[in-house]
Amino acid sequence: MISYLINLMFDNILLSLIIVCTFLYYYTTSTYDTWRKLNVPYAKPVPIFGNIFKMFTGLEHQVDAFGRIYQQFPNDKFCGFYQMSTPFLMIRDPELINTMIIKDFSYFTDHGIDMNPSVNVMARSLFFATGQKWKIMRQKLSPGFTSGKLKGTHEQIRECSDQLTNCIHDKSKETDGIEVYELVGNLATDVIGTCAFGMKLDTINNDNSSFRQNVKKVFKPSGKVIFLQILGVLFPKIIKILRLQTSPVDVNAINFFHSVFREVIEYRTKNDVVRNDLTQTLMKARQDLVISSDYKGEEKYCELDIIANAMLLFTAGSETVTATASFCFYELALHKDIQDRLRAEIISSKIKYGGQLNNEFLEDLHYADMVLDETHRKYTIITALLRGATQDYDVPGESLTIEKGQKILIPIYSIHHDPKYYPNPDTFDPERFTAEEKSKRPNGTFLPFGDGPRHCIGKRFAELELKIILTKILSKFEISPCEKTEIPLQMKKERGITSPRNGIWLNFKPIVD
């Protein structure tokens, strides 16, 4: 009797497994004929996972996953692949990319990332917002990044950079190797805190700053989130019904910043505090879109829309600068000739402008522009652009019609490392960005900040901050490799911005005047 029951239970379990696996197979492969029917070249998918099994399981960075697909079709303008069961169209041709994100932007206004604003507050931010809601908020926030507003940040960035140089000077007395990524991250957190939100954080002198710790957690995916993302791609309706969190955003970090920025806005409102910074721009948007009865638009806004954008600008503004500055220091340490030339330009320009690090001084640092552009190219922080077709689009010169709702991927990192546009792409060479060399490349081959109406709103602020940081550090120190310097750098495999797996260790030798 017992033996019979065991066999019966085993048979039922086995039958259930067969049914579930069969359902999953047919359900997830039901879309796998999409690109064949449209006569689009595509990477052959595997059941359930499509073309990105390793990426979803954390075994491979998305750079490598998208790079393989990109390299598989060297002569095609576009190709197809599958994220689980979802068909994606990868755009490879720079001319077509340029047309789609600039000239024909009205067909691709959204990022095509599905997030529920009632579940995830970040879905309300400028990066994830869609349609008119994005357009209106972009118009309201753009005044926070005008030339006049940016000029007002110079002194604050200089003060934070001086704190960094003092910190490096003290550390250099104790050790030959300094971990740069974390140190620059503290600086970038202080800069965005004081320039955008009027908060003196002093993260540089406090390694355990709650602000810095929460910035690092915001977009760090957990195992639970990765599982829910897979579930969301396979069964999006279930995710929506259950209102599950599928974006790589730490809830505790969200709550931390939500509380902080709400307090800042409430304090300024209550005490009638007015500053010429980004918080004031956010408060003006709040007044116009949330409080004022004059706003008659169809799109409705609430306090969470303002808070979400404060959180986005804080976290994105610190992490991207952290990565770019750290990678730049790394390459300068390995290429003394480039470092010496950049330092000579800085010193010459400081003499020319009487030691004033003003707008004219910063605009005159042409070689610094080349060095930073090459850093953006080699270490592309945001590895791909995403778009969603908001209406049917006939691809110019092709028989393909991209249907409304189709998800688009532009592989920025792969383009930045394509020998067709950048010979010897693994070599750090700022000469690629002389005016003459840039004129040889088609538009659409250099997109570190995106392009078109949806390009990064903080681009100019980031460039300004990076130039001041370079000026301050190279005026005070010679940078070189140390025993702990990793050559080549190993990168984290987790999705998100490009970042080093083991930090960046360098030697800083004070320059004697």
* Binding site feature residues for heme: 456
458: Cβ contacts below 8 Å, ≥ 6 apart: 145, 313, 316, 317
Nearest to 134 by CA among 118, 152, 111, 114: 111
Distances (CA, A) of 63 to 60, 101, 174, 372: 8, 21, 37, 21
Tokens of 348: 């010459």
- Residue numbers in the known binding site are 456
Q: Are 154 and 468 in contact (CB under 8 A)?
A: yes
Q: Side by side, which strands form the sheet with 477-481?
A: 178-179, 505-510, 477-481
Query: Cα(247)–Cα(270) distance, rounded to whole angstroms?
Result: 34
Q: In this structure, how many other beta carbons lie within 10 angstroms of the beta carbon of residue 262?
A: 15
For residue 246, which amino acid is it?
T
Number of C-beta neighbours around residue 432 at 10 A: 22
Give a three-class secondary structure readout of 33-46: CHHHHCCCCECCCE
Residue 44, Cβ density class (10 Å: 0-12 exposed, 13-18 middle, ≥19 buried): exposed
Which of 97, 99, 107 has the alpha carbon at shortest distance from 131? 107
d(CA 71, CA 487): 25
